[in-house]
Structure 1
Amino acid sequence: MYHHATTWPGAKVPHAWVTRGAERLSTLDLGGRGRFTLLTGIGGEAWVAAASAHGITAVTIGPGADYEDPYGDWARLREIGDSGCVLLRPDNHVCFRSATVTDDPSATLRAALDKVLGL
């Protein structure tokens, strides 16, 4: 009955304005386009490396990162820490999230993809 913005798996990624230079985009514009997308914060370098190894587009949101969160909206909505991640399906729905970085982000991401893809 009421929309509740969340990054729980199964939900559509919540909208928040982010910027890249003078360009303002919605978090809804960061994913989709027929590909999986991983969103992480400034402490998520290990997730970025794992995503790259699996052919997944990774986007970092935070001060001095790919995209900045000038109003703090994404930080309030993401429900994870700076070192966590949110994995989006090609339809912009969350299929996995981790509050922080794991001991083996590559294996964690592979397991999440296998589950999502039914492998």
Structure 2
Amino acid sequence: MNQRYGSTAVVSDGTPMPAFSRDHELYYQATTWPGAHLPHVWVEHQGQRKSTLDLVGKGRFTLLTGIGGDGWKTAAAAVEKAYGLPVDVVTIGPQGCDALDSYADWYRQSEVDEDGCVLVRPDMYVAWCAREAAVNAPDVLLDVFGQILGRSAKAQAKSVAAA
């Protein structure tokens, strides 16, 4: 449960790996640190109680953000356009979001602000996160995907144009 690892498919957010506050073999310590498994939190989605784990995976990247994460939605669209790779975006927070976080459990577990984001790989591991909004969110997310996929968006656009 506490597995955390580094890989070319994980992009550092610049923070050190969180230390375990209790024995890591006996107690689970949830974190959204890149390289960790996405934490489970109950939310209400489409009128049903679901786990955050039910909102991700299914063979797709998912970007989890809060009520202030509109810039990340635009960034996900830029990734899809540049790489042809769909990125699901799910907002979690108060009324008006895709998933209702009634007791702010996700807000506390996510370790990001309401305008930040957590990028989750198809295998439910955190690929990257941003603690808060970025002014140039599309450029930032394109760079993150370039690192994860091992190719830049510009190189991808050239190869698509040549084909």
Per the normalisation by structure 2, the TM-score is 0.70
- Report the alpha carbon displacement of residue 21 of structure 1 after superposing the two structures with TM: 4.5
Structure 2: which amino acid aligns with 1:59?
V
Contact 2:79 2:145 in 1 (8 A): no
4+ runs deviating over 3 angstroms: none
Q: 1:34 pairs with 50, 54, 59, which one?
A: 59
Contact 1:44 1:85 in 2 (8 A): yes
Structure 1: which amino acid aligns with 2:58?
R
Q: Residue 142 of structure 2 aligns to a residue in which SS?
A: helix
Structure 2: which amino acid aligns with 1:58?
V
Contact 1:52 1:58 in 2 (8 A): no
How many residues are matched?
119
Name the residue aligned to 1:110: 142
Q: Distance in 2 between matches of 1:31 and 1:79?
A: 18
Per the normalisation by structure 1, the TM-score is 0.95
Q: Residue 59 of structure 2 aligns to a residue in which SS?
A: coil
Name the residue aligned to 1:13: 38
1:73-84 matches, cutoff 5 A: 73-84=105-116
Compute the RMSD of aligned alpha carbons. 1.0
% identity of equivalent residues: 49
1:60-99 matches, cutoff 5 A: 60-63=91-94, 64-99=96-131
Gaps spanning 5+ residues in structure 2: where?
1-24, 81-86, 152-163
Q: Which moved more, 1:85-94 or 1:13-22?
A: 13-22
- Which structure has more RCO (C-alpha within 8 Å, separation ≥ 6)? 1
Structure 2: which amino acid aligns with 1:20?
H
Q: Distance in 1 between matches of 2:145 and 2:132?
A: 18
Contact 2:93 2:104 in 1 (8 A): no
Q: Distance in 1 between matches of 2:141 and 2:75?
A: 7
Q: Distance in 1 between matches of 2:54 and 2:134?
A: 27
Q: Distance in 1 between matches of 2:122 and 2:103?
A: 26
